[in-house]
Amino acid sequence: MSYCLCCNSSLLRHIRHGEVYMYCPDCRQEMPETDSYVVRQAYSVLNEAMMKPLVLSKA
């Protein structure tokens, strides 16, 4: 199963003019097909980065 890179929802497989493409119903746009493992890893890295405290330097 493929997941959207933007919102992590399930992508739908569509056919247009004899070509297959993936479509995200939440984002309402075509998306590249990705492996679910790659998407989970990307979200893991992003979540970890967002949980780190923000350190401001003194100017």
Burial (0-12, 13-18, 19+ Cβ within 10 Å), 11: buried
pLDDT at 16: 87
Three-class secondary structure of residue 32 per DSSP: coil
Is the pLDDT confidence value at 36 over 80?
Answer: no
What is the domain range of residue 29? 1-59
Is the pLDDT confidence value at 46 over 70?
Answer: yes
> pLDDT tens for residues 9-34?
888 998 888 888 899 999 999 987 76
Q: Please give the tally of structural domains in the chain.
A: 1
pLDDT at 37: 66
